[in-house]
Structure 1
Amino acid sequence: MRPVIKLLLFGAALFNGLVTARLFKPQDVVTLPRPGAASLSPNGTFAVYAQSTYHADQDKSVKNLFLLNLQTSSVSELTPPSFDSAQNEPFFLDDSHVAYVQNGQIHVINLDTTDKPYQLTDFPVDIANVKYNLQSKMLAFSAAVYDDGTLEGAKEREDHLRATKKDTALAYDKLMVRHWDAFTQEKQNNIFTVNVEDKEGRYQLANEVHNVLKYTGLQSPGFPSGDASDYDISPDGKHVAFVSKISSTRNAWETAQYVYIAPSSADYFPKAINNQIPAASSHPVYSSSGLLAYLQMSQPQYESDRNQIVIYNPATSTKQLVAKDWDRSPSQIMFSADEQILYAVAQEFGRDKVFAINISDDTITTLTEEGAASIVGVLPDGNLLLSISSMQHPSLLHTLDPKTRHLKMHPASDKLMEHLSHIDFLTPEEFVFEGSLGDKVHGWLIKPSNFDENQKYPVAFLIHGGPQSAWADSWSTRWNPQVFAGAGFVVVAINPHGSTGYGQKFTDSIQRNWGSYPYWDLEKGLDYVLSTYKFVDADRVAGLGASYGGYMINWINGHSNRFRALVNHDGMFSTLNSYYTTDELYFPEREFGGPPYHPLNRLVYERWSPSNFVQKWRTPTLVIHG
């Protein structure tokens, strides 16, 4: 564990006397408090965030708000925890008023008084994905509505259906019918705007609500996993930029998602600014002067194409491609106050790093080297507020000086810091070996608890999903490597061909090669570990994977006999069957070269289908599926 983190965690538990560390257990994964996304006060003094905590004894969770003073690095509980109500999506209306969503409506609390929180909105339906523009005092939020585009109409329709409809049947005339575990509904997410005003220290709505997407057939945030990053408000509050996927009979075959600009007053229809590129775009974000940056992919049907940064000037309708030769795929961008720098988050070598990109000459500076970072905001003094996690701790807030790259970690809530202080998190190591195509392949290794180099230990060989994903130095509430290490296993987690963060060519190489390059990487990586680390027991290796990792478990079962046991969580068994049952047809067509009803394409599906090798399965396998 990094020394600064150990020191902070030790200090959080001093009141308990000597710290007695224990190993990380599965129960900790679900009971450890989970901090959410933070929001900055305009003056940069405070950050507010929601934190959820699961109570196993009652099988219930609480979610309440915490306030971090960035000047004193002190954390206080802003709202009390309760099983009856949860607070989420907090943000600042000004330096002393915090707003948040509770029971689907916005509430406000005054930091300068002891007054009870009050309810700001009373809309007919629940809202979410709230953003606020300080300059124009404008709220924006999303709500699911029907074709008439009104909140009142949505409530009336829901009440009518609840009273008259006796079944749950839905009729569809186009795909997608379902996306992941959510069935497509008749109502769609729309973005609404409304202004607020401060009347004698108490906020209230100042005008009628406007539906920015009314009568357009567009949807934003996207269904089912879109969020507030799908849109942004211009600095003067006059426009909203948002992304929306195409709405047509080709929806299940295409990833095309365009950036639109619309008036916040809804006076005229939105205009697409990049619909000449039939690929995905995302994360629109305005600068202080009104420039609009967003992320743009170029390959149709491909969710894992490289994101490139585009800056659009609404005044001249011109575009600038930033750092076009940078072989990384950013997932988040934000302007500096002077608009000379774009801060970007991108995966690189098993980390989510923060980079500073000089807009004028494309010079790129790496600002963080370890962990998985996201940008909360730019402080008035030019520093960045980041949220950083690692394999050894969940997300914690940090202040970064981009000039010196000095990183200061802030504490979390007492409950979280105390919980962390009692756990001995094991330190991950790294290794690199020569994999398929002569490429260098990167992997992680965590030694087990109470490690003794003279003993032999079993191996938990973890295989990630995606397949375009990666094992990173980040926290996970699902497949957390610390759980396996705490149980006495050597954890091995390799990022084979197809993984992200090692260049786009490395990511793309898995296409039409699901069972070749990645499988060979995993086999070679296991060979490397067994020959390099003498404490690894070659006779006790268990392979575990989910999604694509589960596919690879099935593939391994038909091609390797070196594993003692296998665990397959939601893994593909038949590539052909998966094509005809998936809701995302663009995914298998991109990965396997097209639809399988064409004879040449079918050869690729058949070649990489684990179902064709069941006769060779010999290894005991735990299958988890839902």
Structure 2
Amino acid sequence: MGKIVHLLMSAAMVAGLGAAPALAQSKQVLTHETLWMMKRVGAPLTSPDGKWVVYALSEPSYAKDETVSDLWIVPADGSAAPRRLTSTKAGESDPAWAPDSRRIAFSAKREGDDVAQIYILDLAGGEARRATDVPTGAARPQWRPDGQAILFETLVYPGAMDSATNKKAADERKARKFSMRVYEHFPIRYWNDWLDDRRPSFWVQPLTEGAMARDLMSATKLAQTEGFGGSPQNDGGMTLSPLWSPDGKEILFIATTQRWDAAHARVNYGLYRMPADGGEPTLATPVQGEYGDPKFTPDGKSLIVKFNSQGEDVYDLARLHRIAWPAGGAATLLTGAFDREVDGFAVTPDSRTLYLTVPDAGMENLYRLPVAGGKPALVVAPKFGGYSAIDIPSDAKSTELIASYGSAVNPAEIVRIDPKTGRHTNLTNVNTALAATIDWSSPQHFWFTSDKGRRIHNMIVTPPAFDPAKSYPLMVLMHGGPASSNADQIGLRWNYHLLASAGYVVLMTDYTGSTGYGEAFSRAIKLDPLRGPAEEINRAVDEAGKRYSFIDTANACIGGASYGGHLANWMEATTSRYKCIVSHAGEVDLLTQWGTSDFNYGREVASGGPPWGDSKVWRDQSPITYAKDWKTPMLLTAGERDYRVPMSNTLETWSTLQRMQVPSRLLIFPDAWHWITKPEDSRQFYREVQAWLAHYLKGAPAVKGGPIATPAKAAPGAE
């Protein structure tokens, strides 16, 4: 009861920022403050015995360094309310249960730490104790099956084999009197960060008193091979995804020796195994490609892993495979006839069944599949939203399905699923009461068949105080990727309801190239990177106008980010049907994007060869080719630290707009990456977008000059 009261008070305070009426009077229009300040519930992690569920809970703030993130725990049977496990200024990441279900390891940078270290918290009570002391930091802990040691990852310096040599290398670099980056290979950047010469490694920390952590990887011939690396992470690091074998005698991991081939070929990875006390790694299965999410069945007889071979196509569906253990060898395909990509999976305690979360047309459904193989069977298809994470305790007496459930109007919560009834029960209700006070509704879905015979899925979101008898302006939102989709989930970067809050209907289309519709649908974008998807989006606008009388398609704006920004620029070049356009992180010239982005070979595959070849795609589907036709007013935004779609693309678009004397406004966020994620930057971004839409769709005064000031007393929905 206290938690619900607290949430209602929080909602009232948030509403008070916009001088909104009392909660009891009416539902509230969604504002940036309401959205941003919602607490964020992380994925569930269930104890092996099935009694407890741990999750991270983030409590956001607009103030710098005041966001709080702690670990919470709740009984898996829902018999008691959640309680906080940690309460420190620094957040915890990568929690991992000990085999005894009594201890939790996690990574954190606490007071006195120069870098993150591994900490262990005993549920019996007391403060978490630090388990590691390594100068390069420690992340992603994994308990040895006997609970007496922890495997963790770190990035090490060239030639360094232990803590002392790594510390010496770090100190030497810190003492340099110059600042310079040096490269001899591609890539040099990834998403939002410059890469350096550190390499991934995994160490083992025994939990006996006074024991030192040991680097198992760096001394191997494999790790010293040119081009050795792990899977890149969005923070500029890499992971080898290591895990213990069931008997604790081996370590498995995913690595490549082709890292420096990225400029001219696909980078393939191998699944390796090595003795846990050191030695040279060998391949656990012979085929190389892309591996992910390896998990052992509780009986230790099978290793389940995602895998896709990397051919010369723009998209390869990752499918589940099973590898016999400890024999290893060729993998058995489990989901070969299943034309959907498995997002997540978990294994039942009897090692006989897999439960899968699968994106499908905006939803995320739950399927069941025998470990021995067969056809996945649909277990739950939620009416709205879906399951974004799933976990099953390995040692429970019966199968317990713990998951994250959310939708576009239901912030993610931890739930327990009953596969027999197809229903779930909430274990947390962090944002349930607050969500109930907001005037928002679930997306409406419709399909049409394109001129090329493809079924195209679409969603619309209606504004608050919606009246189907009225007519509403239209905001067309194009998703990034292109290998992604519009999901019935809450997002921060382009929130459907926040865009709709000022009185617009929002339309979203999963054009050709989107995921969740089968491998062929995703691959069909090859050699047609912009024109085909744009034609489908324009057709979707026509179809929405026919189906929904409340949509005024003649009074519409369009926008998107990343690949959605590429499409926005293409719309500028090829149609005048929209009154305005918003483009964030969009390319204007395929050649510019090829030469400046953090990867290029995949772009060659999509466009039919290198820029100097005979493919016409490079010029025919570059928006700048048609600059003489540009005339639609355009709002451009970019993060100065974006290396996936570098700011040069936006500056080229800006120069072209100015050259053609098209009404335009340019917003550069110096501290932003590919995404605008800092709270005040995000709030300002939405202010600017809403003001741009209001001018062209509602006749509001145009914004001139510097940034839009914070209104002293904003009306509900003004954000």
- TM-score with structure 1 setting the length: 0.90
Q: 1:441: how far off?
A: 0.7
User: Separation in 2 of the partners of 1:354 and 1:149?
Assistant: 45
Counterparts of residues 460-479 of structure 1 (less than 5 Å): 460-479=475-494
Structure 2 residue identity aligned to 1:398:
V
Secondary structure of the 1:437 match is: coil
Secondary structure of the 1:230 match is: coil
| 1:570 corresponding residue in structure 2 | 585
Counterparts of residues 122-521 of structure 1 (less than 5 Å): 122-147=133-158, 148-163=160-175, 165-196=176-207, 208-215=213-220, 216-217=222-223, 218-220=228-230, 222-224=232-234, 230-263=241-274, 265-274=276-285, 276-277=287-288, 279-288=289-298, 289-300=300-311, 304-313=315-324, 314-315=326-327, 317-370=329-382, 371-379=385-393, 380=396, 381-413=398-430, 416-521=431-536
Q: 1:96: how far off?
A: 3.0
Distance 1:264 1:143, change over 3 A: farther
Structure 2 residue identity aligned to 1:496:
Y
Q: 1:264: how far off?
A: 5.0
Q: Is the 8 A contact 2:447 2:457 kept in 1?
A: yes
1:550-581 deviation per Cα after TM superposition (whole angstroms, max 9, x unaligned): 11111111211111111000011001111122
1:99 aligns with 2:105: yes
Q: Is the 8 A contact 1:105 1:120 kept in 2?
A: yes
| 1:607 corresponding residue in structure 2 | 620
Distance 1:361 1:557, change over 3 A: same
Distance 1:22 1:14, change over 3 A: same
Distance 1:412 1:70, change over 3 A: same
1:580 aligns with 2:585: no
Distance 1:544 1:604, change over 3 A: same
User: Separation in 2 of the partners of 1:576 and 1:221?
Assistant: 26
User: Separation in 2 of the partners of 1:21 and 1:330?
Assistant: 37
Q: 1:403: how far off?
A: 4.0
| 2:564 corresponding residue in structure 1 | 549
Secondary structure of the 2:42 match is: strand
Distance 1:519 1:205, change over 3 A: farther
Secondary structure of the 1:249 match is: helix
| 2:634 corresponding residue in structure 1 | 621
Distance 1:264 1:274, change over 3 A: closer
Instruction: Give the unaligned 5+ runs of structure 1.
Output: 1-7, 198-203
| 1:4 corresponding residue in structure 2 | none
User: Separation in 2 of the partners of 1:19 and 1:116?
Assistant: 45
Question: Identity over the aligned pairs, expressed in percent?
Answer: 23
User: Separation in 1 of the partners of 2:346 and 2:210?
Assistant: 29
Q: 1:290: how far off?
A: 3.9
Runs of 4 or more consecutive aligned structure 1 residues displaced over 6 Å after TM superposition: 8-12, 14-17, 226-229
- TM-score with structure 2 setting the length: 0.79
User: Separation in 2 of the partners of 1:360 and 1:86?
Assistant: 40
User: Separation in 2 of the partners of 1:266 and 1:302?
Assistant: 40
Secondary structure of the 2:448 match is: strand
Instruction: Give the unaligned 5+ runs of structure 2.
Output: 13-22, 110-115, 640-719
Q: Is the 8 A contact 2:356 2:368 kept in 1?
A: yes
Distance 1:263 1:205, change over 3 A: farther
Q: 1:337: how far off?
A: 2.1
1:68 aligns with 2:39: no
Q: Is the 8 A contact 2:485 2:515 kept in 1?
A: yes
Q: 1:426: how far off?
A: 2.1
| 1:86 corresponding residue in structure 2 | 91
Q: Is the 8 A contact 1:98 1:109 kept in 2?
A: yes
User: Separation in 2 of the partners of 1:152 and 1:376?
Assistant: 40
Mean CA deviation greater in 380-389 or 94-103: 94-103
Residue-pair matches, total: 604
1:192-248 deviation per Cα after TM superposition (whole angstroms, max 9, x unaligned): 223335xxxxxx575642423543333335344677793332222222222223335
The structure in which a higher percent of residues are strand is 1
Q: 1:586: how far off?
A: 1.9
1:227-272 deviation per Cα after TM superposition (whole angstroms, max 9, x unaligned): 7793332222222222223335313333433233333525222222
Distance 1:267 1:549, change over 3 A: same
Q: Is the 8 A contact 2:119 2:128 kept in 1?
A: yes
Distance 1:344 1:254, change over 3 A: farther
| 2:41 corresponding residue in structure 1 | 35
Structure 2 residue identity aligned to 1:232:
L
Distance 1:338 1:500, change over 3 A: same
User: Separation in 2 of the partners of 1:391 and 1:563?
Assistant: 26
User: Separation in 2 of the partners of 1:361 and 1:177?
Assistant: 41
Distance 1:276 1:317, change over 3 A: closer
Mean CA deviation greater in 606-615 or 104-113: 104-113
Structure 1 residue identity aligned to 2:38:
L
Distance 1:249 1:316, change over 3 A: closer
Distance 1:450 1:24, change over 3 A: same
Q: Is the 8 A contact 1:328 1:504 kept in 2?
A: yes
Distance 1:19 1:388, change over 3 A: farther
Mean CA deviation greater in 372-381 or 285-294: 372-381
Mean CA deviation greater in 104-113 or 321-330: 104-113
Secondary structure of the 1:305 match is: coil
Structure 2 residue identity aligned to 1:512:
L
Q: 1:335: how far off?
A: 2.5
Q: Is the 8 A contact 2:285 2:330 kept in 1?
A: no
Q: Is the 8 A contact 1:543 1:566 kept in 2?
A: yes
User: Separation in 2 of the partners of 1:349 and 1:615?
Assistant: 37
1:318-365 deviation per Cα after TM superposition (whole angstroms, max 9, x unaligned): 421112111112233332222222222322121222321123351211
User: Separation in 2 of the partners of 1:254 and 1:275?
Assistant: 20
